[in-house]
Amino acid sequence: MSAAAPYTLLAIETSCDETAAAVVRGRSVLSNVLHSQSVHRAYGGVVPELASRAHVQLILPIVRQALAEAAVEEKDLDALAVTTHPGLIGSLLVGVNFAKGLAIRLRLPIVPVNHLEGHIFSGLLEDPELSFPFLALVVSGGHTALFWVEDVGRLRLLGSTRDDAAGEAFDKVASLLGLGYPGGPAIDRLARQGNPHAFAIPRPLLQDPTFDFSFSGIKTSVRSLLTRLFPDGVPPEVLPDLCASVQAAIVEVLLRKTLRAVRQCRAQTVVVAGGVAANSALREAFQRAAQRRGFRLVLPRLSYCLDNAAMIGLVAHEKLCRLGPQHFRQLTFTASPLPLRSPQKRTPHAALRLLQ
Ligand SMILES: Nc1ncnc2c1ncn2[C@@H]1O[C@H](COP(=O)(O)OP(=O)(O)OP(=O)(O)O)[C@@H](O)[C@H]1O
Ligand SMILES: [Mg+2]
């Protein structure tokens, strides 16, 4: 670690529909401010152009609030950090260009950060003593992937979803059931009163020997079940059972694949991160499994599971410590949507490239 560490960083995250800024010092979070844009609710999903416009309006007040809550002035900052990929290109560009402008004005280094790397290392926010290597399951609205993590910048992608992400499955099923957007929290709430064995929902790729996932079939099975059993609409009293059955299928696939990776990698520590890691059934199932199998489980608190800028600041701090501030004086980087979907990204080499 450099003699100047711990560094104080202002981090900015605008990859989707959350405008977020945080101040971190080392692995400590001094402030973590988030505005979840509500404008999208009426449309049942994120409208990219509306998200970009909302970021433009919100970014300055959110950054000011993050500095004020941390009691840190601009002159106290050692560096900036910003999410560059993956995400909605218009949204990312707002954060990246704002951060670049600030870097020029304050003459500060700026660390570009991969959003997924942020989710993976949110385990370090929860547990600053977390040691490498560890297994990371990232389950969010856009991604579902297992990584073997040897260090910051040294990750191996073991497998990822071939179609929908787990969060997308929650959201699409919720939309079929008329539960609004985002659907994960609504399904989680209703499932607490339901029977997880009431409806037969498929467990896609459960027996497949790879670490890949597939969740698009869950939405299809719910759609055909609704057409067959409830052509006139789902009676409200059925919703808890349906939600519990869908949730149980998603959680079982995530858990069983992760446990197989634990065995294969001889992992002693598992981090589960991303928005779906907020799911209460998933948290309970992983906690039970960790106790039974004897591995250490790091489940970030809910505010670190959902999109946030503290996780971006933390990754940037680790990179600054390893490479030094001079490495981050270039402003030539840009935003990129870069999805984690195509098969060639499943090679270890591509995974490293993906997370640079
Ligand atoms: N309690 C919950 N149960 C299940 N899913 C949940 C819960 N809370 C949030 N989610 C899901 O988490 C997702 C949002 O997570 P997150 O903000 O990490 O995703 P994203 O940033 O949109 O995608 P990505 O990180 O892949 O770019 C949504 O799909 C939402 O439904
Ligand atoms: Mg995210």
pLDDT digits (tens, 9 = 90+) for 105-153: 999 999 999 999 999 999 999 998 899 999 999 999 989 999 999 999 8
**Under 8 Å between Cβ of 346 and 160:** yes
Q: What pLDDT is stored for residue 43 in this prediction?
A: 78
For the CA of 171, the nearest ligand: 1
When pLDDT is averaged across residues 334-345 and rounded to a whole number, the result is 60
Question: Is 275 near ligand 1, meaning CB less than 6 Å away?
Answer: yes
Assess whether the C-beta atom of 338 lies below 6 angstroms from ligand 1.
no
- Residues 84-97: tens digit of each pLDDT: 999 999 999 999 99
> Ligand nearest 18 Cα, by number?
1
Cα-to-centroid distance, 49 and ligand 1 (Å): 20
Nearest CA to ligand 1 atom 4: 184
- Which ligand places an atom closest to the C-alpha of 274? 1
Q: What is the mean pLDDT of residues 65-85?
A: 97
pLDDT bin (cut points 50, 70, 90) of residue 341 is very low
Q: Which helix (H) or strand (E) holds 150?
A: strand 144-151
pLDDT for residue 25 is more than 90: yes
Query: What pLDDT, on a 0 to 100 scale, did the predictor assign at position 351?
Result: 44
Tell how strand 269-273 and strand 154-160 pair up: unpaired
Q: Is the pLDDT of residue 266 over 90?
A: yes
Which ligand number lies closest to the CA of residue 138?
1
Does residue 2 have a pLDDT over 80? no
How many whole angstroms separate alpha carbon 175 and alpha carbon 151? 38
How high does pLDDT run on average in the chain?
Answer: 92
Confidence (pLDDT) at 182: 85
Residue 154 predicted with pLDDT over 60: yes
Q: Is the pLDDT of residue 318 over 80?
A: yes
pLDDT of residue 350: 41
In percent, the amount of the chain with pLDDT more than 90 equals 86
Q: Is the CB of 118 under 6 A from ligand 1?
A: no
Edge-to-edge strands, sheet with 269-273? 154-160, 144-151, 134-139, 269-273, 296-298
pLDDT at 353: 41
pLDDT of residue 40: 77
Residue ranges, comma separated, of all CATH 3.30.420.40 domains in the chain are: 8-121+307-354, 131-304
Query: How many of the other CB atoms lie within 10 Å of CB of 42?
Result: 10
User: Atom of ligand 1 at shortest distance to CA of 274?
Assistant: 18
Name the CATH superfamily for 131-304: ATPase, nucleotide binding domain (3.30.420.40)
The least confident of 37-51, 56-70, 258-272, 307-321 is 37-51
- Give me the pLDDT at residue 137, please: 98
Give me the amino acid identity at 195. N
- Is the pLDDT at 270 greater than 60? The verdict is yes
Q: Measuring CA to CA, which residue among 19, 27, 1, 18 is closest to residue 9?
A: 27
313 lines ligand 1 (CB under 6 A): no
Query: SS3 for 238?
Result: helix
pLDDT of 237 above 50: yes
The mean pLDDT value for 157-169 works out to 96
In this predicted structure, the answer to whether residue 177 has a pLDDT above a threshold of 80 is yes
Contact 276 CB / ligand 1 (< 6 Å): yes
| The ligand 1 atom nearest the CA atom of 87 | 27
The pLDDT of 186-211, averaged and rounded, is 97
State the Cα–Cα distance between residues 190 and 207, nearest whole angstrom.
Answer: 29
Q: CB of 120 within 8 A of CB of 150?
A: no
Give, in words, the CATH class of 8-121+307-354: alpha beta
Instruction: Please check whether residue 90 is in contact with residue 241, taking contact to mean a CB–CB distance below 8 angstroms.
Output: no
- Whose CA is closest to 169, among 98, 107, 219, 242? 219
Structure tokens at 67: 């500095």
Q: Is 300 in the pocket of ligand 1 (CB under 6 A)?
A: no
For ligand 1, whether the C-beta of 16 sits within 6 Å is yes
Best of 115, 117, 160, 170 to mutate for ligand 1, by most ligand atoms within 8 A of CB?
Answer: 170
306 alpha carbon to ligand 1 midpoint, in Å?
6
Task: Kindly give the residue spans of alpha helices, DSSP state H, lying in the chain.
Answer: 48-70, 89-106, 115-126, 166-176, 183-191, 216-229, 239-265, 280-293, 302-305, 310-323, 348-354
| pLDDT at residue number 218 | 97
CA 272 remoteness from chain centre: 10
Ligand 1 neighbour 26 (Cβ under 6 A): no
B/e letters for 60-94, b = 16+ CB within 10 Å, e = fewer, are eebbebbbeebebeeeebbbbbbbbbbbbbbbbbb
pLDDT for the residue 249: 98
**What confidence tier does 202 reach under pLDDT thresholds 50, 70, 90?**
very high
Task: Please report the pLDDT score of residue 42 as a whole number.
Answer: 76
Which residues are close to ligand 2, an ion, with C-beta < 5 A? 140, 307
